[in-house]
């Protein structure tokens, strides 16, 4: 596929046709209020300096590892991130969400959220296997609450998170309680098995 064939208006200056500014202004109240540079809050500090960009469609970054993209897009953007490639079961879930469902579908986002939760479990298991297990006392802020008078910070302010703070220990603590319960049950089963053998 040649670069010319790759051209998609959204990535080039050949943008799809749009209404004129006058038509948009008549249809949408307030549209274009900042078209005049002098009306922008950044005036006169804002300056338009030539960027030196000499291309209409930049050279595409090589895709060494398959990256996920929405099915609405024909191809990846010319430049994309590579710092956090998908991996593990969470990666499988995310790839399925991108390959099967449009971004307009709730299933797409629910699967991505499920992938996030699965990755949390994967990272905790990985930390445990590496000999550096998570420390829920410090990482959840429980120690900081006592050491830095967290209650006073909420008592004397209008912070919105005060309204749901009673839920925080439940949301943060239940996975640890479940994991601890499973561990206790497993240890008891192991001891019982040893006694019988």
Question: What is the C-alpha separation between 42 and 61, in angstroms, rounded?
Answer: 34
In a domain, 51, yes or no: no
Q: Which residues contact 97 (CB under 8 A, 6 or more apart)?
A: 107, 108, 109, 111, 112, 115
pLDDT at 2: 46
Tell me how many domains the chain contains.
1
In a domain, 122, yes or no: yes
How remote is the C-alpha of 106 from its chain's centroid? 16
pLDDT at 3: 47
Token pair of 87 as six digits: 């991996």
Question: What is the C-alpha separation between 93 and 46, in angstroms, rounded?
Answer: 44
In a domain, 78, yes or no: no
pTM above 0.75, yes or no: no
In a domain, 16, yes or no: no
Q: Which residues contact 3 (CB under 8 A, 6 or more apart)?
A: 57
**By C-alpha distance, which of 77, 79, 78, 118 is closest to 95?**
118
Instruction: Check if the beta carbon of residue 11 is closer than 8 Å to that of residue 78.
Output: yes
> Side-chain half-sphere of 138: how many Cα atoms within 13 Å?
3
In a domain, 109, yes or no: yes
pLDDT at 118: 94
pLDDT at 14: 67
pLDDT at 149: 82
Range of the domain at 104: 85-133
pLDDT at 8: 55
In a domain, 69, yes or no: no
pLDDT at 4: 44
pLDDT at 13: 67
In a domain, 92, yes or no: yes
Give, for all 197 residues of the chain, the pLDDT tens digit: 444 445 455 666 666 677 888 899 899 998 988 888 888 888 888 888 888 877 778 888 998 888 998 888 888 888 899 988 899 999 999 999 999 999 999 999 999 999 999 998 899 889 989 988 888 788 877 788 888 888 787 777 788 878 888 888 788 778 778 888 988 999 999 999 888 87
């Amino acid at each position: 596929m040649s670069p010319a064939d790759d051209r998609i208006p959204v990535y080039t200056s050949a943008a799809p046709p749009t209404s004129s500014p006058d038509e948009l202004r008549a249809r949408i109240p307030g549209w274009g209020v900042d078209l005049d540079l002098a009306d922008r809050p950044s005036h006169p500090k804002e300056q338009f300096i030539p960027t030196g960009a000499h291309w209409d469609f930049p050279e595409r970054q090589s895709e060494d590892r398959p990256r996920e993209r929405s099915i609405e897009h024909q191809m990846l953007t010319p430049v994309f991130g590579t710092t956090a490639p998908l991996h593990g079961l969470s990666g499988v879930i995310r790839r399925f969400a991108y390959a099967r469902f449009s971004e307009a579908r709730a299933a797409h986002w629910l699967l991505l959220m499920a992938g996030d939760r699965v990755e949390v479990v994967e990272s905790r298991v990985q930390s445990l296997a590496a000999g550096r297990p998570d420390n829920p006392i410090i990482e959840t802020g429980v120690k900081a609450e006592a050491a830095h008078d967290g209650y006073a910070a909420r008592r004397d302010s209008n912070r919105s998170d005060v309204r749901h703070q009673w839920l925080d220990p439940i949301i943060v603590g239940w996975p640890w309680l479940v994991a601890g319960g499973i561990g206790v049950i497993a240890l008891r089963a192991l001891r019982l098995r040893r006694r019988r053998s």
